[in-house]
Protein backbone atom coordinates (compact mmCIF):
# COMPACT_ATOMS: atom_id res chain seq x y z
CA UNK A 1 0.00 0.00 0.00
CA UNK A 2 1.27 3.44 -0.98
CA UNK A 3 0.80 5.62 2.09
CA UNK A 4 0.21 8.64 -0.12
CA UNK A 5 -2.93 6.93 -1.43
CA UNK A 6 -4.33 6.42 2.06
CA UNK A 7 -6.79 9.01 3.30
CA UNK A 8 -7.56 8.47 6.94
CA UNK A 9 -9.62 10.60 9.25
CA UNK A 10 -9.18 10.78 13.01
CA UNK A 11 -11.37 12.62 15.49
CA UNK A 12 -9.12 15.13 17.22
CA UNK A 13 -10.30 15.98 20.74
CA UNK A 14 -8.27 19.20 20.57
CA UNK A 15 -10.15 20.60 17.57
CA UNK A 16 -13.37 18.64 18.24
CA UNK A 17 -13.67 17.43 14.66
CA UNK A 18 -12.49 14.70 12.34
CA UNK A 19 -9.28 15.60 10.54
CA UNK A 20 -7.29 13.98 7.78
CA UNK A 21 -4.41 12.12 9.35
CA UNK A 22 -1.06 13.51 8.25
CA UNK A 23 1.84 12.52 10.53
CA UNK A 24 4.63 14.88 11.47
CA UNK A 25 7.12 12.77 9.54
CA UNK A 26 6.06 11.04 6.34
CA UNK A 27 5.58 7.32 6.76
CA UNK A 28 6.18 7.32 10.53
CA UNK A 29 3.81 7.54 13.49
CA UNK A 30 4.78 8.29 17.07
CA UNK A 31 1.90 7.28 19.31
CA UNK A 32 1.55 7.34 23.08
CA UNK A 33 -1.34 6.14 25.22
CA UNK A 34 -1.61 6.64 28.96
CA UNK A 35 -1.43 3.27 30.64
CA UNK A 36 -2.33 1.93 34.06
CA UNK A 37 -1.61 3.18 37.56
CA UNK A 38 -0.58 -0.12 39.15
CA UNK A 39 -2.36 0.22 42.48
CA UNK A 40 -4.58 -2.77 41.73
CA UNK A 41 -5.36 -5.48 39.21
CA UNK A 42 -6.47 -4.76 35.65
CA UNK A 43 -10.21 -4.25 35.16
CA UNK A 44 -12.32 -4.16 32.00
CA UNK A 45 -11.79 -0.38 31.65
CA UNK A 46 -8.04 -0.92 31.42
CA UNK A 47 -8.64 -3.64 28.83
CA UNK A 48 -10.92 -1.41 26.74
CA UNK A 49 -8.29 1.29 26.47
CA UNK A 50 -5.48 -1.17 25.78
CA UNK A 51 -7.52 -2.94 23.08
CA UNK A 52 -8.47 0.34 21.37
CA UNK A 53 -4.89 1.55 20.99
CA UNK A 54 -3.64 -1.90 20.05
CA UNK A 55 -6.15 -1.73 17.16
CA UNK A 56 -5.04 1.80 16.26
CA UNK A 57 -1.41 0.68 16.05
CA UNK A 58 -2.17 -2.44 14.01
CA UNK A 59 -4.36 -0.65 11.49
CA UNK A 60 -1.82 2.14 10.99
CA UNK A 61 0.80 -0.54 10.39
CA UNK A 62 -1.50 -2.26 7.91
CA UNK A 63 -1.75 1.03 6.02
CA UNK A 64 2.02 1.08 5.68
CA UNK A 65 3.12 3.36 8.51
CA UNK A 66 6.09 2.55 10.71
CA UNK A 67 4.53 2.95 14.15
CA UNK A 68 6.40 3.46 17.40
CA UNK A 69 3.79 2.92 20.08
CA UNK A 70 4.52 3.66 23.72
CA UNK A 71 2.46 2.99 26.83
CA UNK A 72 3.34 3.74 30.41
CA UNK A 73 2.97 2.23 33.80
CA UNK A 74 2.50 4.77 36.59
CA UNK A 75 4.46 2.87 39.20
CA UNK A 76 4.67 5.53 41.91
CA UNK A 77 1.79 7.66 43.18
CA UNK A 78 -0.43 8.22 46.22
CA UNK A 79 -2.58 5.13 45.62
CA UNK A 80 0.42 2.81 45.27
CA UNK A 81 1.95 4.22 48.46
CA UNK A 82 -1.38 3.68 50.25
CA UNK A 83 -1.53 0.05 49.07
CA UNK A 84 2.08 -0.42 50.16
CA UNK A 85 1.14 0.67 53.67
CA UNK A 86 -1.92 -1.59 53.70
CA UNK A 87 -0.02 -4.67 52.54
CA UNK A 88 3.32 -4.04 54.20
CA UNK A 89 5.05 -4.54 50.84
CA UNK A 90 7.54 -1.80 49.86
CA UNK A 91 6.07 0.47 47.20
CA UNK A 92 8.58 -0.48 44.49
CA UNK A 93 8.09 -4.20 45.08
CA UNK A 94 4.31 -3.82 45.22
CA UNK A 95 4.32 -1.96 41.89
CA UNK A 96 6.55 -4.58 40.25
CA UNK A 97 4.26 -7.37 41.51
CA UNK A 98 1.16 -5.67 40.08
CA UNK A 99 2.87 -5.01 36.73
CA UNK A 100 3.62 -8.74 36.43
CA UNK A 101 -0.04 -9.56 37.16
CA UNK A 102 -1.34 -6.98 34.69
CA UNK A 103 1.06 -8.13 31.96
CA UNK A 104 -0.09 -11.73 32.43
CA UNK A 105 -3.81 -10.95 32.20
CA UNK A 106 -3.35 -8.65 29.18
CA UNK A 107 -1.58 -11.54 27.45
CA UNK A 108 -4.62 -13.72 28.23
CA UNK A 109 -6.77 -11.01 26.60
CA UNK A 110 -4.55 -11.22 23.48
CA UNK A 111 -3.39 -7.61 23.73
CA UNK A 112 0.02 -7.19 22.14
CA UNK A 113 2.92 -5.46 23.85
CA UNK A 114 3.60 -1.85 22.77
CA UNK A 115 6.85 -0.94 21.08
CA UNK A 116 8.00 0.77 24.28
CA UNK A 117 7.02 0.33 27.90
CA UNK A 118 7.70 3.48 29.94
CA UNK A 119 7.84 3.55 33.73
CA UNK A 120 7.94 6.63 35.94
CA UNK A 121 10.53 5.16 38.32
CA UNK A 122 12.92 4.53 35.40
CA UNK A 123 12.67 8.17 34.30
CA UNK A 124 13.32 10.12 37.51
CA UNK A 125 16.37 11.85 36.01
CA UNK A 126 14.37 12.86 32.92
CA UNK A 127 11.56 14.15 35.12
CA UNK A 128 13.90 16.24 37.30
CA UNK A 129 15.58 17.71 34.21
CA UNK A 130 12.16 18.56 32.72
CA UNK A 131 11.05 20.30 35.92
CA UNK A 132 14.28 22.27 36.15
CA UNK A 133 13.75 23.45 32.57
CA UNK A 134 10.29 24.72 33.50
CA UNK A 135 11.69 26.57 36.51
CA UNK A 136 14.44 28.13 34.39
CA UNK A 137 11.83 29.24 31.85
CA UNK A 138 9.66 30.91 34.46
CA UNK A 139 6.87 28.33 34.24
CA UNK A 140 7.36 26.63 37.60
CA UNK A 141 8.48 27.49 41.11
CA UNK A 142 9.75 25.70 44.18
CA UNK A 143 7.80 26.16 47.40
CA UNK A 144 9.41 26.38 50.82
CA UNK A 145 8.16 22.92 51.78
CA UNK A 146 10.09 21.22 48.94
CA UNK A 147 7.14 20.91 46.52
CA UNK A 148 7.46 22.30 42.99
CA UNK A 149 4.41 23.72 41.20
CA UNK A 150 3.56 24.61 37.62
CA UNK A 151 2.55 28.25 37.29
CA UNK A 152 -0.68 28.03 35.29
CA UNK A 153 -0.79 31.81 34.75
CA UNK A 154 2.52 31.55 32.85
CA UNK A 155 0.82 29.52 30.11
CA UNK A 156 -2.03 31.57 28.57
CA UNK A 157 -3.24 28.67 26.38
CA UNK A 158 -4.16 26.57 29.43
CA UNK A 159 -7.64 25.10 28.94
CA UNK A 160 -7.37 24.57 25.16
CA UNK A 161 -8.11 20.84 25.31
CA UNK A 162 -10.83 20.78 27.96
CA UNK A 163 -12.38 24.16 27.14
CA UNK A 164 -12.32 25.09 30.83
CA UNK A 165 -11.95 28.64 32.07
CA UNK A 166 -9.96 29.61 35.14
CA UNK A 167 -13.25 29.97 37.01
CA UNK A 168 -14.03 26.27 36.68
CA UNK A 169 -10.49 24.86 36.63
CA UNK A 170 -10.73 23.76 40.24
CA UNK A 171 -13.74 21.54 39.65
CA UNK A 172 -12.63 18.01 40.40
CA UNK A 173 -9.05 19.01 41.18
CA UNK A 174 -7.51 18.26 44.53
CA UNK A 175 -6.31 21.41 46.25
CA UNK A 176 -3.36 20.74 48.55
CA UNK A 177 -1.04 23.11 50.40
CA UNK A 178 -2.82 26.19 49.12
CA UNK A 179 -0.62 28.39 51.24
CA UNK A 180 2.43 27.16 49.29
CA UNK A 181 0.95 27.98 45.86
CA UNK A 182 0.81 31.26 43.99
CA UNK A 183 -2.66 30.26 42.79
CA UNK A 184 -4.96 27.44 43.93
CA UNK A 185 -5.12 25.99 40.41
CA UNK A 186 -1.33 25.54 40.13
CA UNK A 187 -0.47 21.85 40.16
CA UNK A 188 2.37 19.80 41.63
CA UNK A 189 5.33 18.75 39.52
CA UNK A 190 7.36 17.42 42.44
CA UNK A 191 6.10 16.36 45.87
CA UNK A 192 8.32 16.59 48.93
CA UNK A 193 8.78 13.25 50.67
CA UNK A 194 6.71 12.40 53.70
CA UNK A 195 8.07 10.10 56.42
CA UNK A 196 8.24 6.49 55.28
CA UNK A 197 7.44 7.24 51.60
CA UNK A 198 9.52 6.14 48.64
CA UNK A 199 11.62 9.11 47.53
CA UNK A 200 14.45 10.28 45.30
CA UNK A 201 17.04 13.02 45.66
CA UNK A 202 16.40 16.24 43.73
CA UNK A 203 17.58 19.89 43.71
CA UNK A 204 14.51 20.64 45.87
CA UNK A 205 15.10 17.89 48.40
CA UNK A 206 13.92 14.29 48.64
CA UNK A 207 10.60 13.63 46.98
CA UNK A 208 8.79 12.05 44.06
CA UNK A 209 7.21 13.24 40.82
CA UNK A 210 3.65 14.45 40.47
CA UNK A 211 1.41 12.40 38.24
CA UNK A 212 1.12 14.78 35.28
CA UNK A 213 4.82 15.45 34.78
CA UNK A 214 5.58 11.75 34.38
CA UNK A 215 3.89 11.41 30.98
CA UNK A 216 5.36 14.64 29.62
CA UNK A 217 8.91 13.74 30.63
CA UNK A 218 8.68 10.12 29.46
CA UNK A 219 7.26 11.20 26.10
CA UNK A 220 10.07 13.67 25.56
CA UNK A 221 12.70 11.11 26.50
CA UNK A 222 11.20 8.54 24.10
CA UNK A 223 10.12 10.71 21.16
CA UNK A 224 11.55 14.20 21.46
CA UNK A 225 9.47 17.37 21.58
CA UNK A 226 6.49 16.24 19.50
CA UNK A 227 4.33 13.19 18.88
CA UNK A 228 1.61 12.39 16.36
CA UNK A 229 -1.09 10.76 18.48
CA UNK A 230 -1.69 10.99 22.22
CA UNK A 231 -4.45 8.77 23.54
CA UNK A 232 -6.20 7.91 26.76
CA UNK A 233 -9.56 7.65 28.45
CA UNK A 234 -11.98 10.59 28.32
CA UNK A 235 -11.66 10.96 32.08
CA UNK A 236 -8.05 12.09 31.54
CA UNK A 237 -8.88 15.16 29.42
CA UNK A 238 -8.87 17.30 32.56
CA UNK A 239 -6.72 17.73 34.46
CA UNK A 240 -4.16 15.17 33.29
CA UNK A 241 -3.95 15.80 29.55
CA UNK A 242 -4.54 19.52 29.93
CA UNK A 243 -1.58 19.62 32.30
CA UNK A 244 0.55 17.53 29.96
CA UNK A 245 -0.02 20.07 27.19
CA UNK A 246 0.85 22.99 29.47
CA UNK A 247 4.07 21.42 30.75
CA UNK A 248 5.31 20.18 27.40
CA UNK A 249 4.47 23.24 25.33
CA UNK A 250 5.71 25.65 27.99
CA UNK A 251 9.08 23.88 27.96
CA UNK A 252 9.53 23.42 24.20
CA UNK A 253 7.40 26.14 22.63
CA UNK A 254 6.13 23.48 20.19
CA UNK A 255 2.78 21.80 19.74
CA UNK A 256 3.04 18.67 21.90
CA UNK A 257 0.67 16.24 20.17
CA UNK A 258 -0.88 16.76 16.75
CA UNK A 259 -3.90 14.52 17.41
CA UNK A 260 -5.56 13.88 20.77
CA UNK A 261 -7.81 10.81 20.92
CA UNK A 262 -10.00 9.73 23.84
CA UNK A 263 -11.91 6.52 24.36
CA UNK A 264 -15.17 6.36 26.26
CA UNK A 265 -15.61 5.03 29.77
CA UNK A 266 -17.06 1.83 31.17
CA UNK A 267 -20.42 1.76 32.90
CA UNK A 268 -21.98 -1.24 34.62
CA UNK A 269 -25.76 -1.37 34.26
CA UNK A 270 -25.78 2.37 33.65
CA UNK A 271 -23.51 3.31 36.57
CA UNK A 272 -19.92 4.46 36.43
CA UNK A 273 -17.61 1.59 37.24
CA UNK A 274 -15.66 2.23 40.43
CA UNK A 275 -14.26 0.44 43.46
CA UNK A 276 -16.38 2.62 45.74
CA UNK A 277 -19.59 1.34 44.10
CA UNK A 278 -18.32 -2.23 44.26
CA UNK A 279 -18.98 -2.83 40.56
CA UNK A 280 -15.45 -3.11 39.20
CA UNK A 281 -15.13 -5.99 36.76
CA UNK A 282 -11.68 -7.52 36.90
CA UNK A 283 -10.33 -8.59 33.53
CA UNK A 284 -9.09 -11.92 34.87
CA UNK A 285 -12.53 -12.82 36.25
CA UNK A 286 -14.18 -12.07 32.91
CA UNK A 287 -11.61 -14.15 31.02
CA UNK A 288 -12.45 -17.08 33.30
CA UNK A 289 -15.99 -16.95 31.87
CA UNK A 290 -15.68 -15.61 28.33
CA UNK A 291 -13.27 -15.80 25.42
CA UNK A 292 -10.97 -12.93 24.53
CA UNK A 293 -12.89 -12.85 21.22
CA UNK A 294 -16.14 -12.18 23.08
CA UNK A 295 -14.65 -9.36 25.13
CA UNK A 296 -13.22 -7.70 22.03
CA UNK A 297 -16.38 -8.19 19.98
CA UNK A 298 -18.45 -6.58 22.73
CA UNK A 299 -16.06 -3.68 23.39
CA UNK A 300 -15.42 -2.90 19.73
CA UNK A 301 -19.07 -3.09 18.63
CA UNK A 302 -19.58 0.57 19.50
CA UNK A 303 -17.73 3.75 18.59
CA UNK A 304 -14.54 3.87 20.66
CA UNK A 305 -15.36 7.45 21.69
CA UNK A 306 -18.63 6.38 23.30
CA UNK A 307 -19.14 4.89 26.75
CA UNK A 308 -19.66 1.13 27.01
CA UNK A 309 -22.55 0.02 29.18
CA UNK A 310 -21.93 -3.49 30.47
CA UNK A 311 -25.24 -5.20 31.03
CA UNK A 312 -25.84 -8.74 32.19
CA UNK A 313 -26.24 -9.93 28.60
CA UNK A 314 -23.41 -7.98 26.91
CA UNK A 315 -20.71 -10.64 27.02
CA UNK A 316 -23.07 -13.68 26.80
CA UNK A 317 -24.62 -12.11 23.69
CA UNK A 318 -21.19 -11.49 22.17
CA UNK A 319 -20.17 -15.08 22.89
CA UNK A 320 -23.39 -16.33 21.30
CA UNK A 321 -22.58 -14.46 18.09
CA UNK A 322 -19.08 -15.87 18.07
CA UNK A 323 -20.26 -19.43 18.67
CA UNK A 324 -22.47 -19.02 15.62
CA UNK A 325 -19.61 -17.53 13.57
CA UNK A 326 -17.01 -20.08 14.64
CA UNK A 327 -19.49 -22.88 13.90
CA UNK A 328 -19.84 -21.67 10.32
CA UNK A 329 -16.05 -21.27 9.98
CA UNK A 330 -15.61 -24.83 11.26
CA UNK A 331 -18.19 -26.15 8.81
CA UNK A 332 -16.59 -24.29 5.88
CA UNK A 333 -13.10 -25.51 6.71
CA UNK A 334 -14.26 -29.11 7.02
CA UNK A 335 -16.35 -28.96 3.86
CA UNK A 336 -13.58 -27.44 1.71
CA UNK A 337 -10.27 -28.31 3.42
CA UNK A 338 -8.08 -27.53 0.39
CA UNK A 339 -9.62 -24.19 -0.57
CA UNK A 340 -7.10 -21.36 -0.02
CA UNK A 341 -8.74 -18.54 -1.97
CA UNK A 342 -10.03 -15.38 -0.34
CA UNK A 343 -12.64 -12.67 -0.91
CA UNK A 344 -10.70 -9.42 -1.28
CA UNK A 345 -13.78 -7.17 -1.22
CA UNK A 346 -14.27 -7.97 2.46
CA UNK A 347 -10.84 -6.57 3.26
CA UNK A 348 -11.48 -3.44 1.19
CA UNK A 349 -14.76 -2.80 2.97
CA UNK A 350 -13.08 -3.32 6.35
CA UNK A 351 -10.35 -0.82 5.50
CA UNK A 352 -12.92 1.74 4.34
CA UNK A 353 -14.67 1.53 7.71
CA UNK A 354 -11.46 1.75 9.71
CA UNK A 355 -10.11 4.68 7.71
CA UNK A 356 -13.05 6.71 9.05
CA UNK A 357 -11.81 7.23 12.62
CA UNK A 358 -11.23 3.53 13.30
CA UNK A 359 -14.91 2.61 12.90
CA UNK A 360 -14.81 -0.88 14.38
CA UNK A 361 -18.59 -0.78 14.95
CA UNK A 362 -19.26 -0.60 11.21
CA UNK A 363 -16.61 -3.21 10.44
CA UNK A 364 -18.14 -5.67 12.92
CA UNK A 365 -21.73 -5.06 11.79
CA UNK A 366 -20.72 -6.34 8.34
CA UNK A 367 -19.99 -9.77 9.81
CA UNK A 368 -23.65 -10.64 10.15
CA UNK A 369 -24.23 -10.32 6.42
CA UNK A 370 -21.03 -12.19 5.61
CA UNK A 371 -21.91 -15.14 7.77
CA UNK A 372 -25.49 -15.23 6.51
CA UNK A 373 -23.98 -15.64 3.02
CA UNK A 374 -21.60 -18.33 4.30
CA UNK A 375 -24.56 -20.29 5.68
CA UNK A 376 -26.36 -20.03 2.32
CA UNK A 377 -23.28 -21.09 0.37
CA UNK A 378 -22.68 -24.07 2.65
CA UNK A 379 -26.22 -25.29 1.99
CA UNK A 380 -25.43 -24.97 -1.72
CA UNK A 381 -22.09 -26.79 -1.28
CA UNK A 382 -20.31 -23.79 -2.80
CA UNK A 383 -16.56 -23.40 -2.02
CA UNK A 384 -17.03 -19.62 -1.98
CA UNK A 385 -18.11 -20.23 1.64
CA UNK A 386 -14.55 -21.19 2.51
CA UNK A 387 -13.09 -18.27 0.56
CA UNK A 388 -15.25 -15.86 2.57
CA UNK A 389 -14.30 -17.41 5.91
CA UNK A 390 -10.63 -17.41 4.91
CA UNK A 391 -10.86 -13.68 4.27
CA UNK A 392 -12.80 -13.01 7.45
CA UNK A 393 -10.14 -14.76 9.49
CA UNK A 394 -7.32 -12.89 7.74
CA UNK A 395 -8.98 -9.46 7.95
CA UNK A 396 -10.56 -9.56 11.38
CA UNK A 397 -7.47 -10.93 13.08
CA UNK A 398 -6.48 -7.26 13.29
CA UNK A 399 -9.31 -6.84 15.82
CA UNK A 400 -8.21 -9.98 17.66
CA UNK A 401 -11.04 -12.14 16.28
CA UNK A 402 -11.19 -15.62 14.73
CA UNK A 403 -7.56 -16.42 15.48
CA UNK A 404 -8.44 -19.52 17.52
CA UNK A 405 -8.82 -23.04 16.20
CA UNK A 406 -12.60 -23.34 15.62
CA UNK A 407 -12.92 -26.82 17.10
CA UNK A 408 -10.98 -25.85 20.22
CA UNK A 409 -12.98 -22.65 20.62
CA UNK A 410 -16.31 -24.46 20.24
CA UNK A 411 -15.26 -27.18 22.65
CA UNK A 412 -14.55 -24.55 25.31
CA UNK A 413 -17.29 -22.01 24.72
CA UNK A 414 -19.93 -23.66 22.57
CA UNK A 415 -21.27 -25.71 25.46
CA UNK A 416 -22.17 -22.51 27.28
CA UNK A 417 -24.56 -21.50 24.52
CA UNK A 418 -28.23 -22.47 24.73
CA UNK A 419 -29.10 -25.15 22.21
CA UNK A 420 -30.73 -22.79 19.72
CA UNK A 421 -31.36 -24.29 16.26
CA UNK A 422 -29.08 -22.91 13.57
CA UNK A 423 -32.01 -21.64 11.48
CA UNK A 424 -33.35 -19.69 14.49
CA UNK A 425 -29.92 -18.17 15.20
CA UNK A 426 -29.63 -17.20 11.52
CA UNK A 427 -32.92 -15.27 11.65
CA UNK A 428 -31.90 -13.61 14.93
CA UNK A 429 -28.56 -12.54 13.43
CA UNK A 430 -30.34 -11.17 10.36
CA UNK A 431 -32.67 -9.18 12.60
CA UNK A 432 -29.74 -7.84 14.63
CA UNK A 433 -28.09 -6.63 11.43
CA UNK A 434 -31.36 -4.98 10.37
CA UNK A 435 -31.53 -3.11 13.67
CA UNK A 436 -27.98 -1.85 13.21
CA UNK A 437 -29.03 -0.55 9.79
CA UNK A 438 -32.13 1.05 11.42
CA UNK A 439 -34.39 -1.02 9.18
CA UNK A 440 -37.16 -1.17 11.76
CA UNK A 441 -39.81 -2.64 9.45
CA UNK A 442 -37.59 -5.61 8.62
CA UNK A 443 -36.61 -5.93 12.29
CA UNK A 444 -40.27 -6.16 13.33
CA UNK A 445 -41.00 -8.67 10.57
CA UNK A 446 -38.13 -10.90 11.72
CA UNK A 447 -39.19 -10.59 15.37
CA UNK A 448 -42.58 -12.05 14.42
CA UNK A 449 -40.84 -14.76 12.42
CA UNK A 450 -38.84 -15.69 15.52
CA UNK A 451 -42.04 -15.82 17.59
CA UNK A 452 -43.55 -18.16 15.04
CA UNK A 453 -40.44 -20.33 15.42
CA UNK A 454 -41.02 -20.41 19.17
CA UNK A 455 -38.49 -17.83 20.37
CA UNK A 456 -38.75 -14.42 21.99
CA UNK A 457 -35.92 -11.98 21.43
CA UNK A 458 -34.72 -9.46 24.02
CA UNK A 459 -32.72 -6.53 22.65
CA UNK A 460 -29.99 -4.45 24.19
CA UNK A 461 -27.78 -1.77 22.71
CA UNK A 462 -24.94 -4.26 22.54
CA UNK A 463 -26.73 -7.37 21.27
CA UNK A 464 -29.64 -9.69 21.88
CA UNK A 465 -30.67 -12.81 23.76
CA UNK A 466 -33.18 -15.52 22.83
CA UNK A 467 -35.68 -17.26 25.09
CA UNK A 468 -37.80 -20.23 24.18
CA UNK A 469 -41.51 -19.38 24.43
Hey, CA dihedral for 402, 407, 413, 415, is it positive or negative? positive
Query: What are the DSSP calls for 76-109, one per residue?
Result: SSHHHHHHHHHHT--HHHHHHHHHHHHHHHHHHT
Q: Where does a domain end: 253, 268, 283?
A: 268
User: Of all residues in the chain, what percent carry a pLDDT higher than 70?
Assistant: 93
Are 234 and 52 in contact by the 8 Å Cβ rule? The answer is no
Can you give the pTM of this predicted structure? 0.87
Is pLDDT at 106 greater than 80 in this prediction?
yes
Residues 262 and 352 occupy one common structural domain: no
Is pLDDT at 173 greater than 70 in this prediction?
no
* Range 14-37 average pLDDT: 97
Residues 20 and 94 occupy one common structural domain: yes
Domain assignment present for 234 = yes
Structural domains counted in the chain: 2
* Range 186-191 average pLDDT: 96
Are 44 and 286 in contact by the 8 Å Cβ rule? The answer is yes
Q: What is the reported pLDDT for 154?
A: 97
Domain assignment present for 280 = no
Residues 209 and 338 occupy one common structural domain: no
Domain assignment present for 274 = no
Residues 216 and 333 occupy one common structural domain: no
Are 66 and 28 in contact by the 8 Å Cβ rule? The answer is yes
Which residues face 32 on adjacent strands? Answer: 70, 230
Describe the chain by its helix, strand, coil percentages, rounded to 5: 50, 20, 35
Domain assignment present for 56 = yes
Cα within 13 Å of Cα(202), Cβ side? 27
User: Of all residues in the chain, what percent carry a pLDDT higher than 90?
Assistant: 80
Domain assignment present for 278 = no
The CATH number covering residue 169 comes to: 3.40.50.620
Is pLDDT at 8 greater than 70 in this prediction?
yes
Compute CA distances 229 → 31, 114, 218, 371, 411, whole Å.
5, 14, 15, 35, 41
Residues 219 and 96 occupy one common structural domain: yes
Torsion angle (degrees, nearest 10) of CA 215, 33, 223, 162: -60
Residue 43: how many other CB atoms lie within 10 Å: 22
Domain assignment present for 434 = yes
Number of residues in the chain: 469
Is pLDDT at 176 greater than 60 in this prediction?
no
Cβ contacts of 306 within 8 Å, gap of 6 or more: 264
Residues 413 and 298 occupy one common structural domain: yes
Domain enclosing residue 155, as ranges: 3-268
Residues 211 and 335 occupy one common structural domain: no
Q: Where does a domain end: 209, 235, 268?
A: 268
Peptide bond into 239 cis (omega under 30): yes
CA distance 440 to 431: 9
Is pLDDT at 417 greater than 50 in this prediction?
no
Domain assignment present for 281 = no
CA distance 353 to 358: 7
Domain assignment present for 285 = no
Amino acid sequence: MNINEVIMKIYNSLTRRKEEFVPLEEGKVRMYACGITVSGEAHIGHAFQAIIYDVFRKFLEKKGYKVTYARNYTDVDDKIIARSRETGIPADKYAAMMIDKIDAVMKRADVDEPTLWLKATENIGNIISFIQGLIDGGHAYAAQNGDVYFDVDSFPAYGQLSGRSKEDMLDGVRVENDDEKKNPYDFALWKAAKPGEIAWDSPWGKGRPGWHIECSAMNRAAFGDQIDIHGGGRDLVFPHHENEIAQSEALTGKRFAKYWTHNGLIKVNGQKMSKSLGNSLLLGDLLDKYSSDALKFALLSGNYRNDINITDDLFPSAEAHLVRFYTLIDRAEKAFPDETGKAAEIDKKFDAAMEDDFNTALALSDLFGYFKEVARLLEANDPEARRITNQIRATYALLGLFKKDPASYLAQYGAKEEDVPAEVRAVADERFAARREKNWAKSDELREKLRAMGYAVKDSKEGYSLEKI
